[in-house]
Amino acid sequence: MTEPLLSVRDLVVEFPKRKTRLTALDHVTFDIYPGEILGMVGESGAGKSLTGAAIIGLLEPPGHIAAGEIWLKEQRIDKLPYEQMRRLRGKRIAMIFQDPLTSLNPILTIADQLIETLQTHLPLSDKDARARAIQLLDEVGIPAASKRIDDYPHQFSGGMRQRVVIALALAGEPELIIADEPTTALDVSVQAQIIDVLKRMCHDYGTAVMLVTHDMGVIAEACDRVAVMYAGRIAEIGDVRQIVKDPQHPYTQGLMGSIPSLTERVDRLVQIPGSMPRLDAIPAGCAFNPRCTQQFDRCKQQRPDLIKTKKGQVACWLYDGESS
Amino acid sequence: MIAMLIRRIIQAAMVMLVVAFISFSLFQFVGDPINNMVGQEASQQDRAELRDRLGLNDPIPIQFFRFVGNAVQGEFGISYRMARPVSDVIAERLPATLELALVSGVLAISLGIGLGVYTALRRDGWLSHFIMSSSLIGVSLPTFLIGILLIYVFSVELQWLPSFGRGETVQVTENWSTGLLTLSGWKSLILPSITLGLFQLTLLMRLVRAEMLEVLRTDYIKFARARGIKQRSIHFRHALKNTLLPVITIAGLQLGSIIAFAIITETVFQWPGVGLLFINAIRFVDIPFMSAYLLLIALVFVIINLIVDLLYFAVDPRLRVTKRSASR
Ligand SMILES: Nc1ncnc2c1ncn2[C@@H]1O[C@H](COP(=O)(O)OP(=O)(O)O)[C@@H](O)[C@H]1O
Ligand code: SF4
Ligand SMILES: [Mg+2]
């Protein structure tokens, strides 16, 4: 098997809160392999965005990494000094945010933003950078790219802006893109197109993607593997077909059960009775136990770690002893 | 662009007309001007004649249009108090006020923006904390008190700077005497311009700081960081212009109020500008002067507003381009 591109090991992210602290990410562990698309699902507040922010080193204080390690190939990146991390951002790991309407600077032209990003990471002359910028816009499907490049963001539609955002994220030809709900803010009619562009571009450039989404259709269509998060922990990771057709974790089963069919898109995943606990009220043992229909004594006392099974990895006591 | 300009100019003219009406009404409400012009012993006949000659018997609208017509030509009549044409008096005193306002305005805007940006970027530094706390003084102390304190420290105790007047001035043109060309002129400017500009400076600084912090939290700044854009460029290329956009209006208004508030500073420092004259004019109910002063201040605000609008147009691509595509 190939070496992982990104390895997140027992990542803990905390927010100090008066005398105590909130543990927002609790021993999160997963890998992303070169060129793959890893889907990341889970209810709002599960910790998906924080995971992305921690990886790219943009956690907003007072949030901070309290324990764990993040490795990009052979390099440990969770403790890099600012300048080294800055040079890595956009060059090796890039990020796409949810809302294309607010992701672009309103007073700089697309050319300004794209050329600056290119020149930050690549030794390009002004002329070459501009040519490359036009080429990138062309590749993400902006019509008449050589004319539109001098326009301002507000002159583009939401879908077009998200294409520009994708071009910007890919400018440094990164090995990994973290796409945090890249289509949630968009019109339903263009969501599929944007996912297609993202998928195609990343395929062409060999870029791996961590794709955060609520959309099970997108997961089934675009992802190679899926990680399911619950209350700041990974509940299950596995191959996309296994997760969709044969989920192991009771929470994942609930998620999949709440989808009428894969062609029909659902935005919110909360059809399981009850709601995810707040960070200051996570129950002992398995965080899912109050909502779990299959819970038993052990679930309230001991916290399950990810257990490797034949099908994937799952954090649930039902699979203890099945480990392979 | 041209259409916008014309629309703004018409609006400005309307505002001036309203102010002119208020100005004009001063004459109607504050006593009979004839009493101020003729002696106690003037006969009823004399008064009626004078009244006729001044056009005071004409219908009000006609009088108003005459007033506006004169005002446009810079004619505001004779000052009751000084018995000289108001326009001459103002022309003579205006340079002093404008120079004072200009220096305080430049001080307030440059330091206000500079310190605002600094305190936003070095949010947790001790110097920022110090600046922010001392800025509270600037906002909370009344102008005249600041002036008096400055005079006490720098003129009375230390004797470094003069406490009143403009110092030596140089006659540049017939009407324009400037203090900006002599050392004593500059020395005399320091305390009054600090006094006049301090409030605006602190207000502007706090505004810029708040706005900058707001901008630094936006998605496009986060996205720029996520692309590895250099810190310097994030602060001064990506964030600063967005910060200053909403500040333009406030800065413009503040420049206007600096001229308007010059009254207090000019009084404290006996600065020979129009503000000082205005205080005296009030005491003597010198209506022609007061109405001219009112119009002057209104004109200053209107012109600044016009400039602010044009600046927005030049700086904010969203305005510019919508207009362009609308006219296509
Ligand atoms: N500044 C903060 N202070 C305290 N808690 C925070 C802060 N930011 C995020 N959180 C908490 O971290 C958890 C994970 O948030 P997030 O990663 O944004 O969730 P997701 O992206 O999965 O919807 C949430 O419960 C949220 O309340
Ligand atoms: S560990 Fe227990 S409570 Fe948690 S999901 Fe599995 S069965 Fe349910
Ligand atoms: Mg999120």
Residues B85 and B287: beta-carbon distance below 8 Å:
no
Per DSSP, the three-state class of A34 is coil
Measure the N-to-C terminal CA separation of chain B; round to a whole number of Å.
Answer: 13
Question: Is 50 exceeded by the pLDDT of residue B211?
Answer: yes
From B6's Cα to the closest Cα of chain A, the distance in A is 26
Cis before A260? omega within 30:
no
- Is A318 touching ligand 2 by the criterion CB < 6 Å? yes
Dihedral sign (CA A277, A279, A280, A286): positive
The 10s digit of each residue's pLDDT in B6-47 is 888 898 888 888 988 888 887 776 666 666 666 667 777 877
The pLDDT confidence band at residue B159, using thresholds 50, 70 and 90, is: confident
Dihedral sign (CA A51, A55, A60, A66): positive
Per DSSP, the three-state class of B31 is coil
B220 contact residues in A (CB cutoff 8 A) = 102-106
- Is A294 touching ligand 2 by the criterion CB < 6 Å? yes
The 10s digit of each residue's pLDDT in B95-104 is 889 999 999 9
Dihedral sign (CA A180, A185, A191, A197): negative
**Minimum-distance CB partner of A120 among B218, B219, B228:** B228
Residues B94 and B274: beta-carbon distance below 8 Å:
yes
Strand partners, A67: A12
Cα–Cα dist A323/A306, whole Å: 10
> What token pair was written down for A1?
């098997």
- Is A136 touching ligand 2 by the criterion CB < 6 Å? no
Residues A263 and A244: beta-carbon distance below 8 Å:
no
Q: Domain residue spans in chain B? A: 7-35+43-70, 89-283
Residue of chain B whose Cα is closest to the Cα of A154: B318
Residuewise pLDDT in 10s, chain A (324 residues): 689 999 999 999 999 988 888 999 999 999 999 999 999 999 899 999 999 999 999 999 899 999 999 999 999 999 999 999 999 999 999 999 989 889 999 999 999 999 999 999 999 999 999 999 999 999 999 999 999 999 999 999 999 999 999 999 999 999 999 999 998 888 888 899 999 999 998 999 999 999 999 888 889 889 999 999 999 999 999 999 999 888 999 999 988 876 544 445 554 444 678 888 998 889 999 999 999 989 999 999 999 999 998 888 999 999 987 765
Cα–Cα dist B166/A176, whole Å: 67
- The number of C-beta contacts closer than 8 angstroms across A and B is 83
Check if B242 contacts A (Cβ < 8 Å): yes
Q: With an 8 Å Cβ cutoff, are B229 and A90 in contact?
A: yes
Q: Phi and psi dihedrals of B294, rounded to 5?
A: -55, -45
Disruptive mutation site among A56, A72, A101, A107 for chain B (greatest number of B CBs within 10 Å): A107
Residue of chain A whose Cα is closest to the Cα of B227: A90
Check if B232 contacts A (Cβ < 8 Å): no
**Closest residue CA from atom 26 of ligand 1:** A45
Strand partners, B178: B170
CATH class given for the domain over B89-283: mainly alpha
Q: With an 8 Å Cβ cutoff, are A120 and B229 in contact?
A: yes
**A205 conformational bin, left if phi > 0, alpha if psi -120 to 50, beta if neither:** alpha
- What ipTM score was computed for the predicted complex, to two decimals? 0.91
Disruptive mutation site among A105, A108, A121, A154 for chain B (greatest number of B CBs within 10 Å): A105
Ligand closest to A46 (CA) is 1
The pLDDT of residue A126 is 96
Check if A312 contacts B (Cβ < 8 Å): no
- Is A292 touching ligand 2 by the criterion CB < 6 Å? yes
The pLDDT confidence band at residue B325, using thresholds 50, 70 and 90, is: very low
- Helix extents (H) in chain B: 2-29, 33-37, 44-53, 60-72, 86-121, 126-140, 143-150, 183-216, 219-226, 231-233, 240-244, 247-268, 274-283, 287-315, 317-327
Q: Which atom of ligand 2 is nearest to the CA of A319?
A: 6
Check if A61 contacts B (Cβ < 8 Å): no
Ligand closest to A304 (CA) is 2
B214 contact residues in A (CB cutoff 8 A) = none
Ligand 3 centroid to A180 CA: how many Å?
7
- In single-letter form, the type of residue at position A39 comes to G
**Closest residue CA from atom 17 of ligand 1:** A47
pTM attached to this predicted model: 0.85
